[in-house]
């Protein structure tokens, strides 16, 4: 490689590291906003986040970045780069091409708005006050539509947003996958609804001490290999994970006094995200590749740990006695009854508390509403009515208020349109990965039943976690499983599981 290219590569790495440092600082400020920052500090904190985000954006779209990318994306130079450097260059080039036409002042206005909006959403959700939140959301959607014009419309406007979270994902692909999934899951749900062998869940409807919930959540996170020297568990209105760097990956959960399962499964879910980020190879630390390769792959790990491990019979064979020690009111409830209760299938209002089967319907509802917002002209003021109509159509229930309906998720307050499809993609990826994992680790269930979760974490680290963003989602799923995304694995998994539970 010629001398100028080498110099540009070193300078490019330094610039990318500087951008990553900004992202880490911004991530820490966001985490603080959502875990107890004083309300009176929100306006100034939001302005600070906006300013730092704008500086990072300016670096990402700078003349300096363009100069380095022009040199390093030359085909003769690119093929001489190490795999990690080549992936970093390609990733930065895609981001540069997408963002270089966006005015920095628009980025700053948007970032300040979403920082304030997330705090406003917390109050709106608590008070079921959509009208109070609507002005924020209206402005977010307006700016997002402007950004789509700057970025360039793909096949549809909504395709542009999907690509932000799952590279090359399109409405056409999602529609096809969801249709294939619904064709198998809807008949399964009908069989379950008609079954007389429904689990008893009454014993879950009692009060559970929140301090004990926290202790049990910490215990389970430790068991699955979450490194508390590289992270921490806090409480927030909506559980989330923040990966600042592999040595600092923080998670939150939410403790509900009348629902012991909510914190347990949200801790497992966010713990799955955290294991991914904590176990990215050290060689990627400090680079823009030290993060999950896509939200779909990221969600595959949270859903794998939460459901396919955390809701399995072997898992509770090992950990149910520990749960009973924390909550003596469960001491007379048999393991099998508890297992069936936590895997009940029923229409419910809240996405994060939905069963594995109907969860995908919650996602399809949000996906269809987002398509309507960006492709079909749905107005923000009409969201509650549309939301309620979709819930009645797909789940046969109508939210009694907007706090339990259209305001339940944090995502739109942060402008994360296009994100929700990743959850169902994550379910599909997870089932496909699980199929391979079981083949390569025949003792999988035995490990779980013995509380030996570390070999599973190590297998996932070797196959997925360590690569961070250095492999694309399609490259990764193909390398791990030998085939592209296949929704049949999820349908197979759900049919087998619920046929046994409901004795279909």
Q: Known catalytic residues?
A: 270
Residue in the block written with tokens 């290999």: 225
Beta bridge mates, 245? 248
Q: Which residue has the tokens 């789509």?
A: 148
Q: Any known ligand binding at 269?
A: yes
Count, residues in the chain:
504
CA distances (Å), origin 76, targets 70, 79, 80, 81, 380 = 12, 6, 7, 9, 49
291 is in an annotated binding site: no
Place of tokens 């959607």: 141
Per DSSP, the chain holds a count of helices (H) and strands (E) of 21, 3
β-bridge partners, 251: 233, 241
E strand or H helix at 156, and its extent? none
Torsion of CA 9, 11, 17, 20, to 10 degrees: -90
Is 30 marked as binding a ligand?
no
- From residue 102, alpha-carbon distances to 59, 152, 394, 440, 457 in Å are 13, 11, 38, 47, 41
Among 288, 323, 305, 163, CA closest to 241: 305
Structural contact between residues 287 and 254, judged by C-beta atoms closer than 8 angstroms? no
**Residues of each annotated binding site for Zn(2+):** 269, 273, 299
**Residues of each annotated binding site:** 269, 273, 299
């Amino acid at each position: 490689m010629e001398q100028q290219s080498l110099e540009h590569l070193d300078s490019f790495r330094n610039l990318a590291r500087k951008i990553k440092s900004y992202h880490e600082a911004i991530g820490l400020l966001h985490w603080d906003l959502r875990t107890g920052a004083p309300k009176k500090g929100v306006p100034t904190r939001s302005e600070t986040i906006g300013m730092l985000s704008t500086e990072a954006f300016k670096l990402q779209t700078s003349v300096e970045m363009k100069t380095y990318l022009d040199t390093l994306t030359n085909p003769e130079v690119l093929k001489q780069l190490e795999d990690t450097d080549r992936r970093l260059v390609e990733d930065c080039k895609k981001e540069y091409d997408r963002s270089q036409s966006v005015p920095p002042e628009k980025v700053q206005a948007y970032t300040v708005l979403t920082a304030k909006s997330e705090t406003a959403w917390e109050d709106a959700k608590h008070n079921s006050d959509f009208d109070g939140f609507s002005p924020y959301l209206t402005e977010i959607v307006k700016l997002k539509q402007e950004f789509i014009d700057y970025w360039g419309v793909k096949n549809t406007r909504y395709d542009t947003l999907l690509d932000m979270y799952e590279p090359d994902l399109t409405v056409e692909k999602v529609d096809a996958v969801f249709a294939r999934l619904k064709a198998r899951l809807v008949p399964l749900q009908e069989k379950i609804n008609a079954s007389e062998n429904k689990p008893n869940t009454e014993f879950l409807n009692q009060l559970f001490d929140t301090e004990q919930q926290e202790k049990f959540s910490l215990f389970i996170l430790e068991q699955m290999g979450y490194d508390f020297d590289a992270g921490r568990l806090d409480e927030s209105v909506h559980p989330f994970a923040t990966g600042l760097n592999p040595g600092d990956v923080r998670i939150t959960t939410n403790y509900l006094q009348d629902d012991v399962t909510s914190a347990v499964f949200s801790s497992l879910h966010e713990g799955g995200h955290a294991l991914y980020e904590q176990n990215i190879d050290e060689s990627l630390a400090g680079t823009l590749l030290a993060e999950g390769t896509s939200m779909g792959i990221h969600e595959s790990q949270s859903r794998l740990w939460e459901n396919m491990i955390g809701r399995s019979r072997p898992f509770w064979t090992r950990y149910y006695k520990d749960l009973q020690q924390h909550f003596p009111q469960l001491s007379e409830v048999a393991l099998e009854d508890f297992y069936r209760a936590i895997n009940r299938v029923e229409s419910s209002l809240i996405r994060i508390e939905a069963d594995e089967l109907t969860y995908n319907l919650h996602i399809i509802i949000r996906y269809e509403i987002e398509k309507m917002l960006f492709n079909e002209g749905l107005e923000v003021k009409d969201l509650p009515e549309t939301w309620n109509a979709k819930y009645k159509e797909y789940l046969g229930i109508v939210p009694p208020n907007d706090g339990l309906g259209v305001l339940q998720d944090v995502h739109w307050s942060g402008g994360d349109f296009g994100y929700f499809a990743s959850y169902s993609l994550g379910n599909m990826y997870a089932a496909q990965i699980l199929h391979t994992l079981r083949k390569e680790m025949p003792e999988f269930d035995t490990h779980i039943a013995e509380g030996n979760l570390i070999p599973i974490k190590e297998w996932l680290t070797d196959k997925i976690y360590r690569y961070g963003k250095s492999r694309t989602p399609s490259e990764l799923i193909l390398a791990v499983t030998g085939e592209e995304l296949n929704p049949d694995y999820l349908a197979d998994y759900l049919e087998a599981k619920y046929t046994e539970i409901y004795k279909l």
